[in-house]
Amino acid sequence: MTPTSRFRKDRARLTAVALTAGALVLSACSGGGGGGGGGGKSQGPGEDKTTSANYSIGTKADSAGPAPEVPGAKKGGAVGVLQRDAFNHLDPGQIYYIDVLTNQLLYNRTLTAYKFDDKGRGKVVGDLATDAGTASDGGKTWTFTLKDGLKFEDGSPITSQDVRWGIERLYASYQSDGPLYIPQWLSGDGNDFRKALPDGPYDGKHLPSSVLDTPNDKTIVFHFRQPHADAPFATAMPNVAPVKAEKDTKQKYDNAPFSSGPYKVGDYKVGKSLTLVRNEHWDPRTDPIRHQYADRFDISFGHQYADSTRRFLADQGSDKTTLSFSNAVAPEMTEKVLNQPDTKGRRLLEVQPYVDYISFNTDRLKDVRVRKALAYAIPNGQILQQNGGATAGVIATNFLSPAMDGYRPSDPFDKKAKPAGDPEKAKALLKEAGKLGQEIVYAYANTDVQQKVSVVVTQALERAGFTVQKKEVDSNTWRTAIADVKNKFDIYRTSWGADWPVSSTVVPPLYDGRQIADGAQNYGHLNNARVNADIDRINAIPDVKQAAPEWQKLADRVLSDDVPGVPVFYNRQFSLWGSGLGGVKYHPVYGSVDPTGVFVK
């Protein structure tokens, strides 16, 4: 989850692992009653912890370490981690998927970070910094001061120059997969920012002090082109982190990032396993959010949801001290998990900040009445059921997640009242347009879940008067296929998560016509001059609280008037872990298990 008229590289990546669809969907940005505190006893579903009211900017005191002790926590032991997908990156500059976002919390520290209480309420606090930053020049300039005692894994001090190096390396062409908020805010929209430092810092050049300044070892100053009231959120992204120049191996850094957190890479077999071991130079007195209870994390890949769910249910041997960052309970095993009494204290069911959509290709479907007919016809409830039902998500009625600041419930296509769709209303619109029998090329990934979804979607569209041509796409090439501007599809599933609870991380990347490009996230190819102008207008509002309702109004208008797609459901994370672990909680921003306080009982 960069977006905004500052182009983002793919939060659908963060949505890529959201888990519910059995295919990578991450976030952007997150109910169950819990998932917090030492026990993690989330019975869910319950309140949505990702709601914007649960977020605030913390104080200097909130930013001080050490992190509050987890009740009952012990030191020692190994935590096992079962993951379906191999990590695509360890380099913090390249990280944007939910699983690697979660993993980097253990070895990577950022200028700011999220600190959650036992009710899931979060504050943005200083992580490396003493606080969440100080704004000046109307919000264009942000200054951060580093804490004393910060060290890399070799015991060398972390300085502002290391943070600057971490940011300047994002300008190099190989740094293409992570969020790009900060470099774009500093130097230019889209990929234009790279012109300011084409090779990054590797040839000895740096950004001028008028853009990025480090007047001393403790201070770093950002001079943005425009005001950004949400800068403390952006500096919590994984790539606003220190990188020691002498240890920067460019692309090879993916295999051996140099730790600033409580753990460091011990052994890494790419595509097979990763072991994180204690970093003896991490000082808990500087860290407000992380602990170092376990001796190590043993992470292995290739575990399908059914495999990890069976192992957690059996709860035998080493699986008792095993969890998953992002593997969901397999949809077909949901009832078994819910009905097995001993799982109540070791599961969570939480609303994530990710939304599943069906996007409509406006280049091919030019008549808005046809798009409205599709929106009425799509069977939200049946799609959700194929993804696992109530444990997989909540029917969505508008483009924005309830996590977004300024969110208000709206339902222009009557999805709550008619979750199976409204074929009569759809057919009437098709008749009005003279398009009864309109052929729709429906593309879907060849995963088990999406093949089942394709059946209910096809049946619903045919009831509404459409003719459907199904196109099954290899799941390994799915994201590339639907992000091709010249794709030959009419409708296709997409997903998005906010990077933080501000809609500037949702509306612009999805609906700004100036961001239409191969690989970009304006999947419906909407290019409406009025929408583009409104995006610029709202982005210029310096107060995110004032901007919030304006984003909601714009999102509602886009859905009702332009209809570049239809929201289907808000994702949920249904997780299970072994009975021998404590301190397992939920990370509302990442929508995953939070490993920072996990311990072996």
Average pLDDT over every residue of 477-499: 90
Dist. CA 142–CA 233, nearest whole Å: 12
What global pTM score does this model have?
Answer: 0.83
pLDDT value for 478: 85
Asked whether residue 348 carries a pLDDT value surpassing 70, the answer given is: yes
Strand partners, 501: none
Q: For the residues 229-241, what does the mean pLDDT come to?
A: 94
Contacts of 255 (CB under 8 A, 6+ apart): 90, 265, 268, 270
pLDDT at 240: 98
> For residue 51, what pLDDT is reported?
63
User: What local confidence, expressed as pLDDT, does residue 52 receive?
Assistant: 63
**pLDDT for res 545:** 82
* Average pLDDT over every residue of 463-480: 91
Query: Residue range 230-248: average pLDDT?
Result: 96
Residue 45 has pLDDT above 50, yes or no: no
Peptide bond preceding 201: is omega within 30 degrees of 0, i.e. cis?
Answer: no
State yes or no: pLDDT of 8 exceeds 70: no
pLDDT in tens, 422-471: 999 999 999 999 999 999 999 999 888 899 999 999 999 999 999 999 99
Secondary element (H or E) of residue 557? helix 544-557
What's the pLDDT at 78?
Answer: 98
Highest mean pLDDT among 55-59, 296-300, 503-507: 296-300
Q: How far apart are CA 468 and CA 437, in angstroms?
A: 9
Q: What is the pLDDT of residues 375-426, one digit of tens each?
A: 999 999 999 999 888 888 999 999 998 878 788 889 999 999 999 999 999 9
Distance CA 176, CA 216 (A): 30
Q: How confident is the model at residue 50 (pLDDT cuts 50, 70, 90)?
A: low
Q: Write out pLDDT tens, residues 332-344.
A: 899 999 999 999 9
The confidence score (pLDDT) of residue 540 equals 82
**Is residue 38 pLDDT above 70, yes or no?**
no
Mean pLDDT computed over every residue of the chain: 89
| pLDDT for position 2 | 32
DSSP letter string over 208-235? -TTTEEEEETTEEEEE-SS--TTHHHHT
pLDDT, one tens digit per residue, over 185-219 is 999 987 889 999 999 999 999 999 999 999 999 99
Q: What is the pLDDT of residue 49?
A: 63
Residue-wise pLDDT for 516-555, tens only, equals: 888 778 999 999 999 999 998 998 887 778 888 999 999 9
- pLDDT beyond 50 at 110: yes
* CA 136 to mean position of chain CA atoms: 29
* H/E segment holding residue 116: strand 112-116
- For the segment 266-289, the average pLDDT, to the nearest whole number, is 97
DSSP state of 207: -
Is pLDDT above 60 for 585?
A: yes
Q: What would the DSSP string read from start to end of 516-546? A: -STT-S-TT----HHHHHHHHHHHT-S-HHH
Provide mean pLDDT across the span 218-222: 98
